[in-house]
């Protein structure tokens, strides 16, 4: 084992990778907090831009699926415990996991533009949360919110996708420079 390697849960990882993951999780967590301070004035509870998903989106395209999944999952759990209750955590996990699965599959197919992948993530996040709410509340009446939530998912996912595209090249360049030790 090289001295820059670290063993976590049976997986050998470069210390640099663990450090980058920690920074990305912290950044996503901070963005979640900032977003909780400034809710969107749209009149429908729960609609957010999804700033933390910007970190997940850029990570997906610059560092790959496993790292992006870790960032997404850990951020959702941390933010759930820090800023909300158990039900909000369940809604966030349902939305986050469905969103991530959809983005991962679209990215892997290589048939969709990154902004489209992000829009899919935004829509699926809202669908996942709505499905979980319907299960928890034992009602299908929430389906009336679906059109509004889909529109919000398209708009917010598009904004995150556009911002992610602006950041992606810079982050990739930075990661490349740190690998070379510059």
pLDDT of the residue at 125: 96
Percentage of the residues of the chain whose pLDDT score is greater than 90: 62
pLDDT mean over 171-181: 74
Which of the four pLDDT bands, split at 50, 70 and 90, describes residue 142?
Answer: confident
Looking up residue 108, the CATH number of its domain turns out to be 1.10.1760.20
Name the band, by pLDDT with cuts 50, 70 and 90, for residue 75: very high
- Residue 151: the pLDDT is 94
| Nearest one of 109, 112, 71, 77 to 92, comparing CA atoms | 77
Whether the per-residue pLDDT at 8 is higher than 70: the answer is no
- Helix, strand, coil percentages for the chain (3-state, nearest 5): 75, 5, 20
Q: What is the rounded average pLDDT of the residues 92-99? A: 95
What whole-number distance in Å separates Cα of residue 35 and Cα of residue 159? Answer: 14
Instruction: For 35, list phi and psi in degrees, rounded to 5.
Output: -65, -35
Count of C-beta atoms within a 10 Å radius of residue 44: 10
Q: How many domains does the chain have?
A: 1
Residue ranges making up the domain that contains 64: 5-179
Arithmetic mean of pLDDT over the chain: 87
Find out whether 94 and 140 touch, Cβ atoms under 8 Å: no
Q: What angle do CA 175, 118, 154 make, to 5 degrees?
A: 155
pLDDT attached to residue 181: 63
Q: Are 121 and 100 in contact (CB under 8 A)?
A: yes
């Amino acid at each position: 084992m090289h001295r820059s390697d670290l063993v976590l849960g049976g997986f050998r990882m470069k210390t640099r990778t663990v450090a980058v993951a920690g920074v990305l999780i912290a950044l996503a967590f901070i963005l979640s907090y900032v977003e909780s301070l400034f809710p969107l004035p749209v009149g429908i509870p729960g609609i957010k831009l999804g700033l933390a998903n910007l970190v997940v989106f850029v990570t997906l395209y610059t560092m790959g699926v496993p790292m992006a999944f870790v960032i997404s999952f850990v951020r959702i759990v941390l933010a759930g415990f820090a800023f909300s209750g158990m039900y909000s955590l369940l809604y966030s996990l349902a939305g986050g996991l469905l969103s991530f699965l959809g983005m991962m599959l679209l990215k892997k197919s290589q048939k969709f533009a990154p902004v489209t992948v992000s829009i899919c993530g935004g829509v699926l996040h809202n669908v996942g949360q709505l499905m979980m709410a319907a299960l928890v509340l034992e009602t299908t009446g929430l389906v009336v919110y679906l059109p509004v939530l889909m529109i919000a998912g398209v708009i917010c996912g598009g904004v995150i996708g556009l911002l992610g595209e602006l950041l992606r090249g810079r982050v990739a360049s930075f990661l490349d420079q740190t690998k070379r030790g510059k």
